Amino acid sequence: MDKSSSFENLIMWQKMHQIVLDIYKMTNTFPKSELFGITSQIRRSAVSVAANIVEGFSKKGKAYKLRFFNIAEGSLEETNYFLILIKDLEYSETGYLREKIKEVGRMLKGYTNTIRKSLDA
């Protein structure tokens, strides 16, 4: 498990934060009719991933940490779906972001597996 003193030092948070910034930039080009639709939804789900990583990192109990990291995993999948939808609607190419999402997903899974193993020990 990461011994960082701040969530800002977590590589998975840094990568997710960059994804959030990229999503904000990408959605700025979407039709205005999507402002309260897909633009709002993907921004919310992506921010949720980063925010739940932060909250999970700050929790003291391992079970609490796992709960927030599990929520982050769910929001990550939700974000991935929105990226598929955005591509299918031909609003933007999203392959590069989907690859970044997969990477964060692997890191998040590794982090949670380490916590789970320490619970079983």
To 10 degrees, what angle do helices 62-88 and 11-27 make? 30
What percentage of the chain has pLDDT greater than the value 70? 96
CATH superfamily of 7-120: 23S rRNA-intervening sequence (1.20.1440.60)
Per the prediction, the chain carries an average pLDDT of 94
The answer to whether residue 98 scores a pLDDT higher than 80 is yes
Question: By the 8 A CB rule, do 108 and 53 touch?
Answer: yes
Q: Where are the domains of the chain?
A: 7-120
- In sequence order, what are the residues at sequence separation of 6 or more whose Cβ sits closer than 8 angstroms to the Cβ of residue 10? 2, 4, 53, 57
Instruction: For residues 121 and 90, give the distance between their C-alpha atoms in angstroms, rounded to a whole number.
Output: 49
pTM (2 decimals)?
0.92
Q: Which amino acid is at 43?
A: R
The answer to whether residue 2 scores a pLDDT higher than 60 is no
Instruction: Give me the count of residues in the chain.
Output: 121
Q: What's the pLDDT band for 121 if we cut at 50, 70, 90?
A: low
Average pLDDT over residues 112-119: 89
Q: What is the pLDDT of residue 1?
A: 47
Structure confidence by residue, pLDDT tens digits, 28-71: 999 999 989 999 999 999 999 999 999 999 998 999 999 999 99
The answer to whether residue 4 scores a pLDDT higher than 60 is yes
To 10 degrees, what angle do helices 62-88 and 95-120 make? 160
Which alpha helices (H) appear in the chain, and where do they start and end?
11-27, 38-58, 62-88, 95-120
Q: What is the pLDDT of residue 120?
A: 72
